[in-house]
Amino acid sequence: MNWSLFTTVYGLVFIAELPDKTSFASLLLSSRLGPRPVFVGACAAFAVQSAVAVAAGSLVGFLPERIVHLSAGILFLAMAALLWLKEPEEDESSETRREGGDFWKAAGSAFAVIFVAEWGDLTQIATAALAAKYRAPWTIFSSATLALWTAAGLAVAAGRWAKNRVSAAVLQKAAAIAFLGAGLFFLFRIA
Q: Which of 10-24, 25-39, 143-157 has the lowest mean pLDDT?
A: 10-24
The predicted model gives 50-72 an average pLDDT of 70
Burial class (CB in 10 A: 0-12, 13-18, 19+), 26: buried
Which pTM was predicted?
0.69
State yes or no: pLDDT of 110 exceeds 90.
yes
- Could you tell me which of 148, 106, 104 has the C-alpha nearest to residue 126? 148
The pLDDT, as a whole number, for residue 16 is 78
Highest mean pLDDT among 58-67, 117-126, 151-160, 165-174: 151-160
Mean pLDDT, the chain, whole residue set = 79
**pLDDT (0 to 100) of residue 68:** 62
pLDDT of 136: 86
Q: What percent of the chain has pLDDT over 70?
A: 77
Has residue 74 got a pLDDT over 60? Answer: yes
Is 90 exceeded by the pLDDT of residue 47?
Answer: yes
Q: Decide which of 105 and 82 is more confident.
A: 105
Quick one: pLDDT at residue 117? 84
The one-character DSSP state at 103 is H
Burial of 55 (0-12, 13-18, 19+ CB in 10 A): middle
